[in-house]
Amino acid sequence: QVDLVVSGGGSVQAGGSLRLSCAASEFSNNINNWGWFRQGPGKEREGVAATTLTGDRSYYADSVKGRFIISRDAVKKTVYLHMHNLTTEDTGVYYCAAARLWAFRPPLIDDYNFWGQGTQVTVSS
């Protein structure tokens, strides 16, 4: 069992930035995919970014590419999502998740075994 605690959501105006943090109870070779998902109002949950345990590979959904950065700190056992130039379309509940899957691939909900609680991100125009 891997426990994930998410923090850093909030309200921001369009064009602003936020950083989400996901503190994990463990950071080990058992978990090689770390992802961020979001669910906007009336929308399905979607994967927006993912990285590996070592951070050597990353994935970004087209909608966030160039604006979001996923990073990790192995010492702090924390995965971050740095969000810049936010738009109202980025509004939603953001979730951190971890997958035992060894092969790295774009984040799919069914691949992920452990989930943090969601955090609300609201972007106003």
- pLDDT per position as a tens digit, 21-79: 999 999 887 899 999 999 999 999 999 999 999 999 999 999 999 999 999 999 999 99
Q: Is 33 exposed, middle or buried (0-12, 13-18, 19+ CB in 10 A)?
A: buried
Residue 119's identity, in one-letter code, is: T
Beta-bridge partners for 93: 39, 120
pLDDT at 28: 83
Give the separation between CA 53 and CA 74, rounded to whole angstroms: 8
Q: Are strands 10-13 and 119-124 parallel, antiparallel or unpaired?
A: parallel
pLDDT at 69: 98
Beta-bridge partners for 83: 18, 68
What's the mean per-residue pLDDT of the chain?
A: 96
Contact assessment for residue 80 and residue 20, using Cβ atoms and an 8 Å cutoff = yes
Whether the per-residue pLDDT at 101 is higher than 90: the answer is no
Whether the per-residue pLDDT at 83 is higher than 90: the answer is yes
Q: How far separated are the first and last CA of the chain, in Å rounded?
A: 40
